[in-house]
Amino acid sequence: MAKIHFRPYTTKQILLFPQRIDENIAEDDPVRLVNGLIDQLDLTSFRKLYKEYGRSPFHPRMMLKAVIYGYMNNVYSCRKIEERLKRDVHFIWLSGYEKPDFATINRFRNRVKKEINAVFTQVVLLLAERGFVSLEVEYIDGTKIESKANRYTFVWRKTVEKNRARLQEKIRVLLEQIDEVIAQDNASEQDKVEFTPELLHSMATELNAALAAEPKPVTKEEKEKHKQRKKQAKELQEKAEKLAEYDKHLETMGERNSYSKTDPDATFMRLKEDAMNNGQTKPAYNLQIGTENQFITDFMLFPNPTDTLTMIPFFSSYSNRYDRLPGECCADAGYGSEENYSFMEANDMEAYVKYNYFHKEQKRAFKDDIFRLENLYYNKDGDYYVCPMGQHMEHTGTVHTKTESGFRTLTSVYRAKNCEGCPLRWGCYKGKEPARTIRANHQLMQYKQQARDRLTSEKGLEHRSKRPIEPEAVFGQMKYDMQYKRFRHFGKDKVNMDFAFFATAFNIKKMIATMKRVA
């Protein structure tokens, strides 16, 4: 019977690992490309974050490589990055076998929370130099990502305002019960003005001073009265503190309708990921991104759940990054407002941006509806509309409105002379008024016509076909391939820092995948 010879096996060797650990790393491995790309970045701004004395810190370039490579591999936890730096051959080679602990890694991320935005911008500019993006076209979309905050720490504006109004009434009732001259005088002056915490604290202080100056009560009735006054002064102080709490809630909320106590920058929004299907709101941020060829070229976080008011601030961020604006913009109907169209026209941008009924107006039912404002004949010289029965609807006035951001719009009002007895009234309008009234924003209608012409052109059809596979594809890869579904930090500045790391890692990972596919 032949004797089997096995290879020698022992774990207690003096040189268990090869002298060069990179022997086990392929030449085209992503870790080598990450190493080379980050070596090209200018990190001089990082130097000011460190002190010139004390223990020598870990090199920021090494730390940046370790964190970004971790994010590229869906490793977002500092503890897990620490573990990889000790066990994973790729991390060990990338870090030069440096072993920072999780606290050091976390401090590094927080230390560079402003500089990481510049790193992201540098990476995008490198992509532009290599032809991956042109920065001439921007596909914009938004998604809501849940905050780390607890789901049941909500503060609602309507509840706070209602409770604050009730408290104001209770304070008035309490002051009516206080028979001190000082308190009554102050209360009489404030009958038509809301009380403030400072005023109530002042009144409570004066009331306590007046009670302290009184002679010591002797009889039972005097003691009972003195006790009652002290109780009222204490109650007034408590209501002042409660009023200050409500005012602090409103101050923190700003223009929002809600916020979370554990993450005051997060707003409660309805998310698509609703396991209970009951429309439950969760603390979240509205993440807006701009993409080109599925690379993230810009990003910004907003507290408001709708997209309409995010476009202009988003373009301001883009301009700050690259000192210019893109020549073309493509977005869905959530961004199709007069304010946004006006901004893009003023900055010589071609707006391939849909409006609310763009798809609806392509249908035959819309075009055949003779009663719709869009299908009525408008005489520009005479400034009147003609109804389906041929009656002129004359201009009767103009309505001035202002958006939440302060943008002013003009809406013209037109009214028919008399619609009584009209055989088409059944389908024209359902109001009880004797004549139909319509409102038309001519400037917005002109912008919509321009957008319609662009969107239905050959170039517009190309943009419309690419838009669903631009930001939508990035969101899908982000949430499902890279499992980035929830922020892991409190506060907008830290959340912004975390996503800057992620966006940088995402772009590098996408660049490597594109290079391999082309090769």
Q: What is the pLDDT of residues 324-376, one digit of tens each?
A: 999 999 999 989 999 999 999 999 999 999 998 888 888 888 888 888 988 89
The pLDDT mean for the chain works out to: 88
CB 344 within 8 A of CB 351: yes
Q: What per-residue confidence (pLDDT) applies to 406?
A: 85
| HSE value, Cβ hemisphere, 13 Å, CA-based, for 327 | 3
DSSP state of 11: S
Is the pLDDT at 419 greater than 50? The verdict is yes
Per-residue pLDDT band for 413 (boundaries 50, 70, 90) equals very high
What is the band of 9 on the pLDDT scale with cuts at 50, 70, 90?
A: confident
Residue 321 CA to residue 26 CA, distance in Å, equals 35
The two structure tokens encoding residue 403 = 């958006």
Under the banding of pLDDT at 50, 70 and 90, the label for residue 192 is low
pLDDT digits (tens, 9 = 90+) for 84-117: 999 988 999 999 889 999 999 999 999 998 999 9
pLDDT score of 418 more than 90: no
Q: Which helix (H) or strand (E) holds 468?
A: none
The residue written with tokens 């709708």 in the block is 306
Tell me, what's the pLDDT at 357? 87
pLDDT score at 120 = 96
Contacts with 184 (C-beta within 8 Å, 6 or more apart), sequence order: 175, 178
On the question of pLDDT at 211 being above 60, the answer is yes
Band of residue 177 on the pLDDT scale cut at 50, 70, 90: confident
- Ranked by mean pLDDT, the top range of 22-31, 206-215, 488-497 is 488-497
Phi, psi (deg, nearest 5) at residue 283: -65, 130
**What DSSP designation does 118 have?**
H
Q: Does 180 have pLDDT greater than 60?
A: no
Please give the structure tokens belonging to residue 47. Answer: 């130097």
> What is the reported pLDDT for 20?
74
Judge whether residue 128 has pLDDT over 60.
yes
Tens digits of per-residue pLDDT, 279-310?
Answer: 688 899 999 999 999 999 999 999 988 888 99
pLDDT interval class at 181 (50, 70, 90): very low
More confident residue, 200 or 496: 496
The predicted model gives 431-451 an average pLDDT of: 90
Structure tokens, 219: 């009889």
Is pTM beyond 0.75? Reply is yes
pLDDT at 430 (0 to 100): 84
Provide the pLDDT confidence category of residue 135 given band limits of 50, 70 and 90.
very high
Q: What angle do CA 396, 399, 400 make, to 5 degrees?
A: 150
Which phi and psi (to 5°) does residue 493 adopt? Answer: -65, -40
